[in-house]
Amino acid sequence: MNALITFIFSLSFFSAVSLLTETGAAAAEKDGVYIVYMGAAASRKGSLKDDHAQLLSSLLKRKTNALVHNYKHGFSGFAAVLSAEEAHSIAERPGVVSVFPDSVLELHTTRSWDFLKYQTSVVIDSNPNSNSSSTTSDHDSGAIIGVLDTGIWPESESFNDKDMGPIPPGWKGTCAQAQDFNTSNCNRKIIGARSYEADDSSVIKYHSPRDMIGHGTHVASTAAGSEVQGVSYYGLAEGTAKGGSPGSRLAIYRVCSSHNGCRGSSILAAFDDAIADGVEVLSLSLGAPSFLKPELTNDPIAIGAFHAVQHNITVVCSAGNDGPTRGSVVNAAPWILTVAASTIDRDFESNVVLGEDKVIIKGEGINLANIQKSPVYPIIYAKSANKTGVDEDESRSCNPDSMDQEIIKGKIVVCDQDGPYSPTEKKDVVKNLGGIGVVLIDDESRAVASTFGTFPATVISSKDGAKVLSYINSTKNPAATILPTTSPTEYKPAPTITYFSSRGPSTIPKNILKPDIAAPGVNILAAWLGNDTAEAPEGKDPPQYNVISGTSMACPHVSGIAATVKSRNSKWGPSAIRSAIMTTATQTNNLKAPITTDKGAAATPYDFGAGEVSTTGPLEPGLVYETTTIDYLNFLCYYGYNISTIQIITNTIPDGFTCPEESSIDLISNINYPSIAISNFNEKAGRKVNRTLTNVSKDDKTVYTVSIDAPAGLDVQVVPDKLQFTNNGQKSSYQVSFSSTNPLKKDVFGFITWSNGKYKVRSPFAVSSKSGN
């Protein structure tokens, strides 16, 4: 079972969400909803809708209204119900960039912000005029964050607007009304709410921004929740909850529902409205599954994000939950800020106590059990309860219908985590057979806290699992207990890159290093639905705050920081904000050692991009890499699009621009990105790339000197090795040369750092061997 299903399907709200996505070839043969993408919106206003209707009517013989969504603000196009033949016919029309089926995309906090503050805060200097060492202020005016997700539960205290000023005058959005949502649900915190999906249930009969899943509420409060004291999950992880940018406003775009999933056509409609509404940061904790590799012009998120960036909106997306598989990162277009997931220094500890000696085995999981703390309960290995005629692999994994109830009853059962069933499903199997508790052996689940309600259950490592099985096998009457969960902090090492976080290298293309940054995404406490009885443990009221994990949770951490950076530097564009976040990241953990994966291996830029995000460094980065319009146009050229298609996509080609005669995909490495990725490295020819830095500090005269952290076997030279700036806004360029005497046996990584003694501007690089290992 893949990582997304393993750890997210253990959460009850996902049981109703369809994660099925049709791949292009199969879907293209079917009738249904298709997205017709026609590039940038023309400068004329008010006529696009008529143009789209005219195009449809000229091709369709049916009289019924086929139009589903109309895109007319940030870009041009529509979604419509078409036959496969009609879709093919429209694709042949002039001005149409692409036509593709409407796919279903996947949905991919108290301590997390405290940990980031402690772990990554950067004190720039002792200058009394510098504010860079301060943390995010609750009183910042903030920015407008648009959240494309499952909606919002507006009654949560995290969305109160106490002490907030008036709604920004540039806001042009709306607060939708529905059977269960009205304008009074919006305030000075939630300034807008729209919906593009409707549930076909008896409860929700109309398009409503109200969240009935929980995911969107959790994400929104992580990004911009107001400060709420005394928050916990049934007494665990107690503290003060607030978002990364509590002064920011929220614009909610409900694009996902339990009935219809996250439709690409709805996502594009939300992008289109958000561009017109006036948002400044867009946060998307969703994306295509890693096995689906859509072309950029067939990818709703890549399309919408491109035009949002054209309109000066920073777009932050989750990297996906299909790790640790190599090349599984999604949302990897160069105009997107792509976020991986890391752990924090809080653990949800539920320990096992063995025998008369009371040996403690550390476990992970959330259980609110009330059983004796002394080891008085019989404990068995599940395969010893094997049902007659059932394969032992089934019983030792505690799979359904594999164990004898008479043997299980009254005992703690040790299970292996093999097969397709989640930890909570295995818990249910044992519970229904009359077992008293479950100890699950699984290294991956040990890193993420599953929620077991009031049933005694925990997850231990395979190393500790061997100790438990040895005790059971060597003892006549083995006994144990499972302790209720505690939530200690200052756990070490942290951060680590969690197993489920999708990894690089990017496949679209490999010459852009992805993910860009890592942020907390494991066991994050944030706001939840107020009526979720399904999530409530037995005998408990519904939780007001919930603990869940995923790159979905990492994404809004970065969205909140991006909003703070925007509010402090209002003239910065999306690429400057991305650069500030990436070049001030940290690569060390709370042991002052290099960040690792949760299995202890050294993490690389394929795992964490530039490193763990800082809350303060991006506010004053010193220098930034600005990725210009020309960079993105060249990217499209290098990627293989011709100039006529690019003209339709962008509608902003400067006079005289043409695609370079040499438009190799390898030249993508040369666009002015804050990281460097070299693919198919040829040691005989070597490779050279150029970068340009812009001075954004208040220092009139300053000199930066380069330092290089290169792996053995790779020679990296930077010319010049000093950059001098004399005023704010000045640009200076340098060239990096990569060479090697011998062929690289594997992909290698390093960092290039520019420093003037006050600021450090650090960029990762990845050089890919021909074998791609």
Going from the C-alpha of 380 to that of each of 350, 353, 370, 413, 515, the distances in angstroms are 19, 14, 20, 5, 43
Contacts of 125 (CB under 8 A, 6+ apart): 758
CA atoms of 134 and 130, how far apart (whole Å): 9
149 annotated active-site: yes
- β-pairing, 256-257 with 731-739? unpaired
Annotated catalytic residue, options 384, 502, 552, 732: 552
Alpha helices by DSSP H, listed for 351-461, are 392-396, 405-408, 423-432
Give the Cβ contact number of residue 419 at 10 Å. Answer: 15
Q: Which of 514, 557, 606, 586 is closest to 760 using CA atoms?
A: 586
- The single-letter code of the amino acid at 761 is V
DSSP assigned state of 71: E
Find where tokens 């000093």 sit: 722
Find where tokens 């330092």 sit: 707
552 annotated active-site: yes
Annotated catalytic residue, options 108, 215, 218, 307: 215
CA atoms of 546 and 434, how far apart (whole Å): 28
DSSP assigned state of 678: E
Going from the C-alpha of 292 to that of each of 37, 107, 348, 358, 418, the distances in angstroms are 19, 15, 34, 50, 26
CA atoms of 772 and 746, how far apart (whole Å): 7
397 class by beta-carbon count within 10 Å (0-12 exposed, 13-18 middle, 19+ buried): buried
Q: For residue 658, how far is the Cα from the chain centroid?
A: 35
CA atoms of 43 and 40, how far apart (whole Å): 9
Find where tokens 């011998």 sit: 742
Q: In what order do the strands lie in the sheet with 760-767?
A: 676-678, 760-767, 748-755, 702-709, 722-725
Structure tokens at 71: 């895109």
Cβ pair 341, 549 in contact under 8 A = yes
Annotated catalytic residue, options 102, 149, 277, 464: 149
726 class by beta-carbon count within 10 Å (0-12 exposed, 13-18 middle, 19+ buried): exposed
* E-assigned strand segments in 657-700: 676-678, 687-695
Contacts of 735 (CB under 8 A, 6+ apart): 688, 689, 690, 691, 718, 719
- The DSSP annotation for 596-635 comes to EETTSPBP-HHHHTT-BPPSSGGGS-SEE----HHHHHHH
Structure tokens at 221: 């409060």
768 class by beta-carbon count within 10 Å (0-12 exposed, 13-18 middle, 19+ buried): buried
List phi, psi (to 5°) of 69.
-135, 150
215 annotated active-site: yes
Catalytic residues: 149, 215, 552
